[in-house]
């Protein structure tokens, strides 16, 4: 996978070099919005990888909580009733299925980008 990412990055760099050689944009006046973007006055938002890691961590925590409740119920712990166990189980199952669906869509989007003609 890292080889294909490296390949995509090298293709992007090649295209940037080609564009930079053919059309200099120094003469084009910029609007205020474009100048603001060029100066880097953007609000610090979490990166995609940080957001993805947070989501995966949340799914992992839900699954661990579900497992702990199920184990407590099996031991006969009074604090773990069947309703709590079932709700936690369904929540972790739903979170996992949603994560798998997001992963599938990301893979499909990546494949679509890789199959685009240049």
Q: Are 96 and 63 in contact (CB under 8 A)?
A: yes
pLDDT of residue 10: 77
Q: Are 83 and 46 in contact (CB under 8 A)?
A: no
Q: Are 46 and 54 in contact (CB under 8 A)?
A: yes
Q: Are 99 and 51 in contact (CB under 8 A)?
A: no
Instruction: Give the count of domains, the chain.
Output: 1
Q: Find the domain containing 39 and state its range.
A: 2-114
Whose tokens are 């080609």? That residue is: 18
Q: What is the mean pLDDT of each run of 10 residues along the chain (118 residues)?
A: 70 74 53 55 74 91 95 92 94 94 94 91
pTM beyond 0.85: no
User: Helix, strand, or coil here: 110?
Assistant: helix
Q: Are 95 and 59 in contact (CB under 8 A)?
A: yes
pLDDT of residue 36: 55
What phi-psi label fits residue 40: left (phi over 0), alpha (psi between -120 and 50 degrees) or beta?
left
pLDDT of residue 52: 86
pLDDT of residue 99: 93
Q: Which two tokens stand for residue 6?
A: 């490296």
- Count CB-CB contacts under 10 A for residue 66: 22
Whole-number Å distance between alpha carbons of 16 and 23: 11
pLDDT of residue 39: 58
């Amino acid at each position: 996978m890292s080889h294909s990412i490296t390949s995509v990055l090298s293709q992007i760099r090649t295209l940037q070099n080609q564009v930079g050689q053919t059309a200099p944009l120094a003469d084009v006046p910029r609007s205020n919005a474009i100048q603001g973007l060029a100066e880097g006055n953007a609000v610090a938002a979490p990166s995609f990888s940080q957001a993805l890691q947070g989501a995966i961590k949340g799914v992992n925590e839900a699954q661990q909580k579900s497992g702990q409740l199920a184990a407590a119920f099996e031991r006969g712990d009074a604090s773990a009733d069947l309703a709590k166990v079932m709700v936690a189980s369904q929540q972790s199952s739903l979170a996992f299925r949603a994560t798998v669906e997001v992963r599938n869509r990301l893979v499909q989007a990546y494949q679509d980008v890789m199959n685009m003609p240049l």
